[in-house]
Structure 1
Amino acid sequence: MSTKMMRAARMYECGQPMVIEEIPVPQIRPTEVLVKVEACGIVPNLNNILTNWVSWFPHMPLPPLPAIFGLDPTGVIEAVGDQVYDFKPGDRVYVNPARYCGSCRACRSGNSTGCTSYTFNGYFGFTKNSARIFEDYPYGGLCEYMPAPQYSLVKLPDNMDFNTAARLGYVGTGYRALRKAGAGPNSTVLINGISGTLGIGVLACALAIGVRKIIGTARNEALFQRVKDLAPAPAGRIEIHQLGSGSIEDWAYDVTKGDGVDIVIDALGPGAPQETLLDAMRSLKRTGTLVNIGAVSGQLPVDIHRMMDQEQTLMGSAWFTTGQGQEMADMVESGVLDLSFFEHNTFPLEDVNKAINGIENRAGGFGNFVICP
């Protein structure tokens, strides 16, 4: 009996093009499902990240090469293992790439994000134990079929297409940050980088959970009105400050009539100046919280005495749980979370190198780049 084969994009060397190869369709373990990948989300600067990752973040290991990357896969379940309980062939799913061991103290207490082996399948690891996770889960989403543990699966509603679901990773990062900060209908939230890949997801989730006032910073003024138009009536629920045009702190206190903000979600990337984050942080009211999800890099000179006096919180937030992924899918199903604004740019697997190398995204976070194997 011949072995069933599939196409996969494999990277043999950082900075070099991925190679499309024919490899055997993977086998699944009893607690896994086999997913036929329909779409896999990517970020436009993925090639830059993979080229420089080893020097930028040597403490966060990549999978051993050659590797199949692909962080945000969606698709249809082709087969299920003998010990899979709540899924069946034909189910439409998003595969949360967060992998954890299930047996360390954090996992046993229900804190999977705190796992001592926490790893992004198809991307990078967070601990020295990630090497073992990469051995157990060597298939990212840039291939035709991938195994996935049942704990990683989000059931997709009929009104959520695969391309939109392939953006759940970045939307979910914002959703978890808002939840960790306690955002809700009584909150005023400032989003640093509101029109970007992460920021637009934070905004969509903030609108969905009823945040009453959302202000943000961004560079591309051409996108400001499009961002504001995402909010239903009343007008003025979203206000935007152009970065580089003056103090964020002064502006934030002005638009909040002197109150300041309850929450800052910093969605700016590693190349952003630290002062932008610090300026936004100074807009926090007493007991306010800043959550960093964009990874502004370097040692941050924080006024810890002021934070103590004001009882403020500074925290990081990485990714989201599968349960939170299901919450977002359920909100899409009910119509509370509207992700219809994404502009999908799809590429076949054969064009993966074109898709990850040098795409100019003039649409900011509205652009959604997807590989469709």
Structure 2
Amino acid sequence: MSKTMLAARMYNVAEEMRVEEVPIPTPGFGDVRVRVHAVNIVPNLSNILSMWTTWFPGDPLPTLPATFGLDPAGEIEAVGEGVIGWSVGDRVYVNPGRYCLNCNACRHGDMVNCSSYAFAGYFGFSPSSVQLLDRYQGGLSEYMVAPSYSLVKLPDNLDYNSAARFGYLGTMYSALKKANAAPGKSLLVNGINGTLGLGAALLAPAMGLTEVYGTGRNPAALSAVEALLPGRIKVHSLADGPVDEWVHSVAGGGVDIYVDALGPGADHETFREGMRSLKRGGRCVNIGAMMGDLVIDIHDMMDQQKAIIGSLWSTPGESQELADMVAAGTLDLSPLEHSVYPLSAVNQAISGVASRNAGFSNYIISPSGE
């Protein structure tokens, strides 16, 4: 086996990545080495590479140069000492969440709230995150090392390209779980036609949701989302009037759950309209990274017992639940449209995401060339 591999690395913020030869990493204690078959290029990656240090200076990037790549899927090629339950040849998705296992949150089993929590191949959430970011590089490389706690076993009926979408799909799934989504509950998603929002339409059958309402700005994309579940999804263009007025006209007293999947730069009023769409006791979950201070009616929240929850990503356990849904046939990912690029075209893929077919497009880098 060669001692080197190709990896896409960023040397400076706002510069294109360089594809170059680097040493193949050796798995440490508790780690595995994965041969990467697919990495999802998320729409936010260009922002991370070009504007992150300006937008969110408190959320550090890895020490540059670094290999990025948030959502890898592939097969285990080597197993480090101390790994139990995983073998060479296992097909896996690698959840990018990394944690220290030593802080108070970790010792209480609350790993997502680790004081050093980081997204491998992306960014961290505290100064100490850099240690984890530097130890575990991202998936835009032929091979990567990952802790065995991050692995998700893929069933035979789940291809690597679809599995590489588990990050954004899992973000929606975790949000719905936090909001107690269940049969009989109604759901509103702001941005249902986007990469994050589409997950609600895909997950609705598996979670028993029969009443789903969605908004967006692209009428053609909204119609395509509505066609996924005729009669169960109703859509509304933001150009056609306030969200809350529409929801109350079609859903009576409002909805049980509101998930905001709008990204940075979105209008705050749209978020407030979503809040006003909630019925008494409703829950709002924010996953879209809308920026800035938000003015809301806190007294109404008290009287109506509404709640706002921030939800970040998903756990490896939740990712495994997604894989199990696919295995059981309750989660259908066939609507995803894969656009696959070789590692050498990584910069082209990142820039091409801007012209995607809403959330249906699934931009993939295939470092293995398969």
CA–CA distance in structure 2, aligned partners of residues 184 and 291 of structure 1: 15
Deviation, 1:133, is: 1.3
Q: Partner residue of 2:25?
A: 26
SS class of match (1:190): strand
- Distance 1:264-1:129 versus aligned 2 partners, 3 A rule: same
Q: Partner residue of 1:302?
A: 296
CA–CA distance in structure 2, aligned partners of residues 254 and 6 of structure 1: 57
1:255 to 2:250 alignment: yes
CA–CA distance in structure 2, aligned partners of residues 45 and 155 of structure 1: 26
Deviation, 1:340, is: 0.8
CA–CA distance in structure 2, aligned partners of residues 52 and 30 of structure 1: 35
Q: Partner residue of 1:356?
A: 350
Structure 2: stretches of 5+ with no match in the other structure: none
CA–CA distance in structure 1, aligned partners of residues 111 and 175 of structure 2: 16
CA–CA distance in structure 1, aligned partners of residues 335 and 248 of structure 2: 30
CA–CA distance in structure 1, aligned partners of residues 250 and 33 of structure 2: 51
CA–CA distance in structure 1, aligned partners of residues 89 and 153 of structure 2: 11
SS class of match (1:106): helix
CA–CA distance in structure 1, aligned partners of residues 152 and 44 of structure 2: 26
Q: Partner residue of 1:169?
A: 167
| Structure 1 contact 44–361 (Cα < 8 Å) conserved | no
CA–CA distance in structure 2, aligned partners of residues 133 and 178 of structure 1: 28
RMSD: 1.2
| Structure 1 contact 60–124 (Cα < 8 Å) conserved | yes
CA–CA distance in structure 1, aligned partners of residues 204 and 104 of structure 2: 32
**Alignment of structure 1 residues 1-373 onto 2, 5 Å:** 4-44=3-43, 46-137=45-136, 139-231=137-229, 235-256=230-251, 258-373=252-367
| Structure 2 contact 91–154 (Cα < 8 Å) conserved | yes
Deviation, 1:185, is: 0.4
Query: Aligned AA for 1:276?
Result: T
CA–CA distance in structure 2, aligned partners of residues 94 and 181 of structure 1: 25
Deviation, 1:247, is: 1.5
Deviation, 1:358, is: 4.4
Deviation, 1:82, is: 2.2
Query: Aligned AA for 1:135?
Result: D
CA–CA distance in structure 1, aligned partners of residues 48 and 134 of structure 2: 22
Deviations 1:67-109 (A, max 9, x none): 1000000000001112111110000000000000111111111
Deviation, 1:3, is: 6.0
Query: Aligned AA for 2:150?
Result: S
| Structure 2 contact 48–122 (Cα < 8 Å) conserved | no
Structure 1: stretches of 5+ with no match in the other structure: none
CA–CA distance in structure 2, aligned partners of residues 300 and 272 of structure 1: 12
CA–CA distance in structure 2, aligned partners of residues 359 and 132 of structure 1: 30
CA–CA distance in structure 1, aligned partners of residues 159 and 264 of structure 2: 31
% of aligned pairs identical?
A: 54
Deviation, 1:30, is: 2.1
Deviation, 1:127, is: 1.2
CA–CA distance in structure 2, aligned partners of residues 360 and 278 of structure 1: 27
SS class of match (2:73): strand
CA–CA distance in structure 1, aligned partners of residues 59 and 115 of structure 2: 13
CA–CA distance in structure 2, aligned partners of residues 134 and 48 of structure 1: 18
Instruction: Choose 244-253 or 329-338, whichever is displaced more.
Output: 244-253
Deviations 1:243-286 (A, max 9, x none): 12111111101111x22000000000011101001011101000
SS class of match (2:67): coil
Deviation, 1:47, is: 2.2
SS class of match (1:229): helix
Deviations 1:222-256 (A, max 9, x none): 1222211212xxx4210001012111111101111
CA–CA distance in structure 1, aligned partners of residues 271 and 330 of structure 2: 30
CA–CA distance in structure 2, aligned partners of residues 162 and 332 of structure 1: 13
SS class of match (2:183): coil
CA–CA distance in structure 2, aligned partners of residues 178 and 45 of structure 1: 21
SS class of match (1:357): helix
| Structure 1 contact 71–120 (Cα < 8 Å) conserved | yes
Deviation, 1:48, is: 3.4
| Structure 2 contact 157–327 (Cα < 8 Å) conserved | yes
| Structure 2 contact 353–363 (Cα < 8 Å) conserved | no
